[in-house]
Structure 1
Amino acid sequence: MPALVLLGAQWGDEGKGKATDLLGGSVDYVVRYQGGNNAGHTVVVGDQKYALHLLPSGILSPGCTPVIGNGVVVDPSVLFSELNGLNERGIDTSRLLISGNAHIITPYNVTVDKVTERFLGKRKIGTTGRGIGPTYADKINRVGIRVQDLYDESILTQKVEAALDGKNQLLTKVFNRRAIETDQIVEELLTYAERLRPYVADTVLLLNKALDDDKVVLFEGGQGTLLDIDHGTYPFVTSSNPTAGGACTGSGVGPTKISKVIGILKAYTTRVGAGPFPTELLDEDGEALRRIGHERGVTTGRDRRCGWFDAPIARYATRVNGLTDFFLTKLDVLTGWDEIPVCVAYEIDGRRVEELPYSQTDFHHAKPIYETLPGWSEDITKAKTFADLPKNAQGYVKALEDMSGAPISAIGVGPGRDETIEINSFI
């Protein structure tokens, strides 16, 4: 049962799209299991760059079936915009499958997201404003709209009415906005029904049958471990579970069928949005990492906050996900530094703390304790084997592996599809 989970081991933006695309030619299905169009994956194929937000990265791999699982929230307008963009560039998107149990991001979810974030002012979370959180809230409050509801107008109308009962009170009485009409929302959602129909499937049944038939299924997380609603830096997190357990609930495939869990680990650390970040660099080094690494959010367009590698975070990701392997990305970005600091522990109130503190207060006050590793100046983008790397680059990779708790099985030495060193096979 070759089922692989591939997820971010930091705050997201680690290069999951490149890793998924690398495996795409060897897998039969690529499954997004959580999140929505608040995710962003950049995949470089030859001289072509593709920015994906909602679609699984496997959509770029001929012969691979991309699947949007039940744990994903889907904005139909974004979905069709993304499909149209790929079709115009000659990409076949007809293989896409979407779970009928996936929830729909409605226009009122987007409205509530934006006005709520604006209302929070200095206490804002840093959401993308795309309606993700409110859609998951509707799901939990059992007033969500699922893809399958688009095919029963009566049920759809009842559900939209139920959802708007409370939201219109909030919009008119708290935020001084106009009420949203039920009929207007229903009419808009119904316009998507027929175009969605060819993609809608019982993906739970399909994926389990595929695994029974020894097909290779790759589960792709949308965000990173530290953005997990349960295991991340709450409340500065996403509204779903990108950690490995979310792959099971978000796809309907049981944990006994998972054979490997691969963590994507950037050779330094970045995050987008608010929240604690112990190794953040607000100096020339941070600006250099941002510039050389092109650290700008694929979905948000916001500059990413940049810092040195944080080993306690990597160990935490290994622990909560049960990681079997790491894919280390963007090693090439560190070329040119004489010395490279690595955070090995934290100082909190005068104490040395080796692991990620569970207390938000402690993590907020954590100061990085660094060890310095020798850097390298040689161009590594043409390296094809680990032995091709400069000795100091090899030493850096080995040190990160020792600190992180799982083997580094692949290394990204450039943005291109072929700029990867494979040490151990993932499949």
Structure 2
Amino acid sequence: MNARAAVQRFGKAVPSIRKNTYTRKNLHNIALKSYSSYHEKNFSALYLAPLWLGGVAYAYVNDSESAQCEVVSSATAAAAHASHASQPHDPTMKEMWKEVLAKLNRIENAVANPKRNIDNLACVDVVLGAQWGDEGKGKLVDMLSKSYDVIVRVAGGANAGHTIVNDGKKYKFHLVPSGILNPNAICVIGNGVVVHLPSLVKELEDLRKMGVDLDGRILISDRAHLVLDLHQQVDGLNEERLGRNKIGTTKKGIGPAYSSKMLRNGIRVGDLRYFEDFQSKLRDQVTFYKENYPDLNVDVEAEIENFRRLKDYILSITVDTIAYLNNAHVSGRKILVEGANATMLDIDFGTYPYVTSSNPSIGSVCTGGGISPNRLQGIIGIVKAYCTRVGEGPFPTELHDANGEHLARVGAEFGTTTGRPRRCGWLDIPQMKYSTMVNGFTELNLTKVDVLTGLEKVKVGVAYWHQGKKVEGMPSNLQVLESSQVEYEVMEGWQEDISKCKQFEDLPVNAQKYILRVEELLGTHIKWIGVGPDRFDVIERPHPLQVAYKH
């Protein structure tokens, strides 16, 4: 079965379904034919199989037949069986089957929800940091935002920092989604974010001064918790108490604010609507912390007056963002979730305790935005072509030589939020495999490849060894991680300037080899390649399946 025949059969499928003559057996056959296409190496036909089933789902959704869920579910199961039976070792084939199954699952979801238009399903995409932060998430969000109607932050606070260079202007973001530079997008600060209101207001004022139109374009959740000035003081006091064992926080009050949330004595943005109650909660909060931190210096009445001045403006942009986002989704608006921090700083999945106090991995989309997981489509991982980390904590591939100095100098590795120099090292494949497993990345953006230009040799960490044994997975014990030795692959570097390259083939051969090797090791397609600091210094590299489909 070639691609042409698959298209023809797809065309015939829809009218026959409308007459209810397409049976469960026929759909099993479709899935099994896609399995046979794998054996025939007919990638185009395999890629068409879920599109084919999409036509079937269209017809079923429109006819709303009672058997539709069972029929499409059986096709999905057949394709899954075919996938596991084939056990392809080629990473490209694995990704191909993942894409087929993802599409089949989306079709099954469409059939189970017949009132929705299938074109508008799963139109929520996510951009997440895959390492220890500072990977360049804001740049991709800025580039992609023109294709989306809503950009949303779902976790973290002003400890996040995204920098975008646009027409010679440098924009720095901490709380506002960087998609705000798209004049047609609405930007949302979700319920999972902790917000220091004075910082938010200043950030908005700075953006206005730089010519960004914000009118009607920024919304904040009434359920988002507040970071108080006292939280920032407590953050600093905690670091002092820890001494040599300090975490290396940004001292933005993020941890204490999340602590208040978990202790259930936190204050939320929506509480400003009932200001007398708000004042009472604030006084209780101050009393609670002063009992534990006698050195805390808080003028509670001055704090109350500060909030009184801010509340009218803040309440004018405060909404139920959970309802807003879900209504936007149902109405067909495209949503992009902008991650903050990164997976290895996740309170559950990161190098605990040297982590942030939220979940900047895929789960935060649900808990911090109120978005159901069955609405997600693309999960994009942002990864530097090397690795950096700010603050304390283990860093297996960290460099303390001329190569590390090169990465820091050429990459301008200083924190957007703190200004602290970032620690630099080689790309860490075991760490990236772990991050990919946790988040289920559908594609990757490899940023700052240009920073590697000028190095004679480029290394990639491919395995950890501990006490003579290869370490499987990512160690949870930090002593094991810190005492492990890293096995490296060494590749030839390149000297050519790549900042003007527009296509993958324009890159130096050694740069191409590096990118393809990283893709092979991770088994996930690298769709975007960063070749310079400007917002459009990015090469977009289509998936080979998409190229095959077009031809």
The question of a shared fold, defined as TM-score above 0.5 by the shorter chain, is answered with yes
Q: Does 1:183 align with 2:277?
A: no
Shift, 1:182, TM fit: 3.8
Structure with the greater relative contact order (CA < 8 A, sep ≥ 6): 1 or 2?
A: 1
Q: Does 1:385 align with 2:503?
A: yes
2:492 to 374, 377, 391: 374
Match of 2:440 in 1: 322
1:226 to 323, 334, 344: 344
Superposed counterparts of 1:170-319, under 5 Å: 170-172=292-294, 177-178=295-296, 180-319=298-437
Shift, 1:354, TM fit: 4.6
2:283 to 161, 164, 176: 161
2:522 and 2:473 map into 1 onto residues whose CA distance is 11
Query: In structure 2, do the counterparts of structure 1 residues 368 and 3 end up closer, same or farther at CA, with 3 Å as the change threshold?
Result: same
1:24 and 1:287 map into 2 onto residues whose CA distance is 34
Shift, 1:260, TM fit: 1.1
8 Å Cα contact 1:412-1:421 kept in structure 2: yes
1:129 and 1:309 map into 2 onto residues whose CA distance is 28
Match of 1:404 in 2: 522
Letter in 1 for 2:386: Y
8 Å Cα contact 1:344-1:354 kept in structure 2: no
Match of 2:462 in 1: 344
Q: 191-200 or 121-130, which moves further after superposition?
A: 191-200
Match of 1:129 in 2: 251
Shift, 1:161, TM fit: 2.8
Match of 2:513 in 1: 395
Shift, 1:107, TM fit: 1.3
Q: For each residue in 1:164-187, what CA deviation from the matched residue of structure 2 results, as whole angstroms up to 9, or x when unmatched?
A: 232111121xxxx15635433322
Match of 1:82 in 2: 203
8 Å Cα contact 1:17-1:42 kept in structure 2: yes
How many residues align? The count is 422
Match of 1:144 in 2: 266
2:197 and 2:473 map into 1 onto residues whose CA distance is 41
Match of 2:147 in 1: 26
Unpaired segments of 5 or more residues in structure 2?
1-120, 547-551
Match of 1:73 in 2: 194
Letter in 2 for 1:399: R
Unpaired segments of 5 or more residues in structure 1?
none
Q: 105-114 or 287-296, which moves further after superposition?
A: 105-114
Match of 1:421 in 2: 539
Shift, 1:157, TM fit: 2.2
The structure where helix makes up a greater share of residues is 2
Q: For each residue in 1:270-306, what CA deviation from the matched residue of structure 2 results, as whole angstroms up to 9, or x when unmatched?
A: 0000000010001111111000000000001000000
8 Å Cα contact 1:386-1:394 kept in structure 2: yes
Q: TM-score, normalised by structure 1?
A: 0.96
1:336 and 1:171 map into 2 onto residues whose CA distance is 51
Q: For each residue in 1:128-158, what CA deviation from the matched residue of structure 2 results, as whole angstroms up to 9, or x when unmatched?
A: 1111100000001011110011111222122
Match of 2:480 in 1: 362
Match of 2:166 in 1: 45
8 Å Cα contact 1:270-1:305 kept in structure 2: yes
The structure where strand makes up a greater share of residues is 1
8 Å Cα contact 1:268-1:308 kept in structure 2: yes
1:298 and 1:4 map into 2 onto residues whose CA distance is 25
1:390 and 1:34 map into 2 onto residues whose CA distance is 38
Q: For each residue in 1:79-137, what CA deviation from the matched residue of structure 2 results, as whole angstroms up to 9, or x when unmatched?
A: 11111111111111221111111111111111111111112111110011111100000
1:101 to 218, 223, 227: 223
- For the residue of structure 1 that corresponds to 2:293, the secondary structure is helix
Match of 2:184 in 1: 63
2:477 and 2:525 map into 1 onto residues whose CA distance is 28
Q: Does 1:8 align with 2:129?
A: yes
8 Å Cα contact 1:157-1:182 kept in structure 2: no
Q: TM-score, normalised by structure 2?
A: 0.75
8 Å Cα contact 2:354-2:392 kept in structure 1: yes
* Matched-pair identity in %: 47
Q: For each residue in 1:12-54, what CA deviation from the matched residue of structure 2 results, as whole angstroms up to 9, or x when unmatched?
A: 0000010100101111111010011100001111211111111
8 Å Cα contact 1:99-1:203 kept in structure 2: yes
Shift, 1:198, TM fit: 2.0
